[in-house]
Every structure is written in C-alpha cells, then in structure tokens.
C-alpha cells in the first residue's frame, strides 16, 4: 500500500496500540527465548547457532507496528517496550543489555520503511526490514562476543540474515495482512489507506465502465 498518510502526532489510540503490541510481543519474545534454549540443547555441538535461526522472531513487532500506525519511531518504541516486558516483568536471562539490542533491532527494522517515507509496504520492503534488523544487531553482537575472529562468522550471519527476512519480515507481512482482512485495523492508518485504495479502484472501474455501451454494462 502506498497511499500518502499525513504526518501528525500519535493519537491516544495509536499509543495504546503500540503499548499493547509491545506487551504482547514481550511475552512472545520471552517464549522464543525458551525455544532458543530448547533448540540449543537439541542441536548439540552446533547449539550456539540456535540463536541465529530464531533471530528474526525477535524483530516481528517493529514492522507490524510501523505498518499499522505508519509514524516515525513506532517500530523502535514497540521493540523497546517488548524488551522492557521481557527484562522487568519476565526476568529474561539476557538481562538489561536486551534493551540495547531491542533499540538496535528497532532501528534496523524501521529504516527501510523510513526510506520509503512510511508509504511503501510491499513484500520487498518487509523482507528488507527483516534483513536490516537482523543484520544490524548481528554486527553489534559479533563485536560483543568476538564472532569476527571465528571460522563460522559467515555461517552465523547467513543464518541470521535469512531468519530476519523470513521471520522478522515476511511473517510480519502475513500477520499484518491477516489482521487487516478482519477489519480490526479499519480505524488506523493502514485501514484508512486500504479504504482510499479501494475507493480509488472503484472509481477507476466506474470510469472505465462509463465509456461502454449500455448493453455491455447491463451484461456485466
């Protein structure tokens, strides 16, 4: 969807939505951490790579919030809020540094939409969001944990990048489109943009039909 959305401050309902998304995904992210632990054990000697397979799952809330609200900064805010839920309320084993990681993930995930001025939300944009979110936080983590000197650094990056594209990008698109079809987002920017596009399409169809003979229009 590419309809122009005028810039304005966040409304109360948009703030509430971002908080709700951050809270819900905070619990989901915590669950993904538990899955990470289980997957690490299941993978045996290669268990250290488990975090990269699941990396994209911790990016989900940013593109979802951005697509719905379409305002600068909401992706970063939603990611940080989710990390606060994980650390403060659920006692994530990752600890306070998770807040920093969440901020970096949010920045990376939001950049592709910012480059499109929050008007473009195609599959490629979501995929790029997941790739940049996963990639940016990877380089920060690689610096922290000394991955750059390891033989597997390219494998780590490749797996995390793919996870970001699939779980943190394309899956977010599927979720957003599914929510939009239910009608629950009708009063948010995404719903308003969809309605404008629907009306524009209907008007175009009407204009095409206006030039046809009456008999043809009746047969339709």
- Checking if the pLDDT of 6 tops 60, the result is no
**Number of domains into which the chain is organized:** 1
Residue 215 included in any domain:
no
Q: Is residue 63 part of a domain?
A: yes
pLDDT at 215: 41
Token duo for residue 198: 């629907």
Question: Residue 2 pLDDT > 50, yes or no?
Answer: no
Encode pLDDT of 95-107 as tens digits: 788 999 999 999 9
Candidate from 2-11, 126-135, 149-158, 170-179 with smallest mean pLDDT: 2-11
Q: Is residue 68 part of a domain?
A: yes
Give a yes or no: residue 210 inside a domain.
no
Mean pLDDT score, 143-149: 92
Model pLDDT for residues 29-62, shown as the tens digit of each residue:
999 999 999 999 999 999 999 999 999 999 999 9
Asked if pLDDT for residue 217 goes beyond 80, the answer is no
Among residues 77, 106, 60, the alpha carbon closest in space to that of 16 is found at 77
Mean pLDDT of 108-136: 97
Confidence of residue 208 (pLDDT cuts 50, 70, 90): low
Q: Look up the domain containing 117 and give its range.
A: 12-197
Q: What 3-state class would DSSP assign to 51?
A: helix
Q: How many whole angstroms separate alpha carbon 182 and alpha carbon 172?
A: 16
Angle between helices 61-69 and 74-84 (to 10 degrees): 140
Burial call 20-51: b when 16+ CB within 10 Å, e when fewer = ebbbebbebbbebbeebeebbeeeeeeeebbb
Tell me how far apart the alpha carbons of residues 11 and 14 are, in angstroms, rounded to a whole number. 5
In this structure, is residue 148 part of a structural domain? Answer: yes
CB 121 within 8 A of CB 112: no
What is the sign of the dihedral through the CA atoms of 93, 99, 105 and 106?
positive
Degrees (nearest 5) of the Cα angle 123, 127, 130?
145
* Residue 1: inside a domain: no
Q: Is residue 5 part of a domain?
A: no
> Does the pLDDT value for residue 214 go beyond 70?
no
Judge whether 86 lies within some domain. yes
The answer on pLDDT for 210 being more than 80 is: no
Is residue 68 predicted with pLDDT exceeding 50? Answer: yes
Per the CB < 8 A criterion, the answer to whether 107 and 136 are in contact is yes
Mean pLDDT, rounded, for 128-145: 96
**pLDDT at 5 exceeding the cut of 60:** no
Looking at residue 72, what is its pLDDT?
96
- Which has the higher per-residue pLDDT, 128 or 220? 128
């Amino acid at each position: 969807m590419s309809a122009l959305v005028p810039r304005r401050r966040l409304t109360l309902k948009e703030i509430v939505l971002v908080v709700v998304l951050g809270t819900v995904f905070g619990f989901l992210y915590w669950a993904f951490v538990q899955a990470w632990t289980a997957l690490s054990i299941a993978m045996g000697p290669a268990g250290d790579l488990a975090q990269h397979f699941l990396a994209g799952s911790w990016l989900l809330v940013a593109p979802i919030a951005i697509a719905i609200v379409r305002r600068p900064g909401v992706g970063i805010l939603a990611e940080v809020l989710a990390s606060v839920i994980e650390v403060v309320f659920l006692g994530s084993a990752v600890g306070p540094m998770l807040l920093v990681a969440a901020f970096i993930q949010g920045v990376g995930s939001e950049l592709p939409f910012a480059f499109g001025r929050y008007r473009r939300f195609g599959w490629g944009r979501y995929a790029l969001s997941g790739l940049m979110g996963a990639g940016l936080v990877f380089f920060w983590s690689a610096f922290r944990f000394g991955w750059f000197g390891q033989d597997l650094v390219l494998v780590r990056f490749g797996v995390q990048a793919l996870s970001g594209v699939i779980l943190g990008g394309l899956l977010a698109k599927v979720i957003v489109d599914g929510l939009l079809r239910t009608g629950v987002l009708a009063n948010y920017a995404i719903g308003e943009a969809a309605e404008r596009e629907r009306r524009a399409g209907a008007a175009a169809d009407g204009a095409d039909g206006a030039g046809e003979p009456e008999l043809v229009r009746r047969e339709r």
